[in-house]
């Protein structure tokens, strides 16, 4: 797979937008062909989003986990960013039933979760290489002009239930506790519209 390097201007723009923290901007992850995957250190804004999500979970009566968890958010092409959801919350990232494809995803583990992920993007034959997300880190997947079709979720120390709302199909998955699974679809030309993850 061919890799491109980010220009200094692009790194500066990502830093200003908060996609890459300033401390990480000097050595960004190389983008994959046709899309970008950025691994970095969690920002204060991410911590605030987690705290707000956990407060909402507590207020709604959801059990807030003390151990491993995963927080996530999605950007839909027409709806923009949807609220942050954590794996100990009820809810999903993205939009359901609007036919609106996901084109960006951010995932960040906490509570000691050992987490790995990879992605399958529309119109790109191969899935990305698997990436480990370090403790206190995050991954942002940007499909560019394409859409996210599937996500691979793997952990060595937690079981997960997860499901994706897929174009023209509806919700797929979510029936088994697994430590290694794909959600979405591969090779069907169907984008993800929403997803949830429970740990």
pLDDT for residue 24: 37
Q: Burial, 143: exposed, middle or buried (Cβ in 10 Å; 0-12, 13-18, 19+)?
A: buried
| Rg of the chain on CA atoms, in Å | 16
pLDDT at res. 64:
66
- pTM of full prediction above 0.85: no
Taking only the tens of pLDDT, the chain with its 199 residues reads 322 333 333 333 333 334 433 333 333 344 445 689 999 999 998 888 878 877 877 787 766 667 888 999 999 998 899 999 988 888 899 999 888 999 999 999 988 999 999 999 999 989 999 999 987 899 999 999 999 999 999 999 999 999 999 999 999 999 999 999 999 999 899 999 999 999 9
Q: How many CB atoms lie within 10 A of CB 48?
A: 11
Burial state string for 168-191 with b = 16 or more CB within 10 A and e = fewer than 16: eeebbbeeeeeeebbbbbeeeebb
- Helix H segments across 22-108? 44-59
Angle at 168 between CA 189 and CA 74, to 5 degrees: 75
pLDDT the model gives residue 76: 95
Q: What is the pLDDT of residue 22?
A: 36
């Amino acid at each position: 797979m061919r890799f491109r390097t980010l220009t200094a201007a692009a790194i500066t723009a990502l830093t200003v937008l908060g996609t890459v923290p300033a401390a990480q901007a000097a050595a960004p992850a190389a983008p994959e062909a046709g899309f970008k995957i950025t691994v970095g250190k969690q920002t204060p804004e991410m911590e605030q989003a987690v705290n707000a999500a956990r407060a909402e979970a507590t207020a709604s009566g959801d059990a807030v986990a003390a151990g491993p968890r995963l927080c996530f958010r999605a950007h839909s092409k027409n709806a923009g960013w949807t609220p942050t959801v954590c794996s100990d919350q009820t809810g999903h990232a993205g939009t359901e039933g609007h036919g609106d494809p996901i084109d960006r995803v951010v995932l960040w583990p906490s509570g000691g979760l050992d987490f790995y992920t990879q992605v399958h993007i529309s119109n790109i034959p191969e899935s990305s290489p698997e990436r480990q997300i370090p403790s206190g880190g995050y991954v942002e997947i940007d499909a560019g002009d394409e859409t996210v079709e599937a996500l691979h979720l793997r952990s060595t120390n937690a079981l997960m239930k997860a499901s994706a709302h897929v174009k023209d199909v509806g919700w797929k998955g979510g029936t088994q506790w697994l430590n290694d699974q794909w959600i979405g679809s591969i090779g069907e030309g169907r984008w993800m519209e929403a997803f949830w993850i429970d740990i």
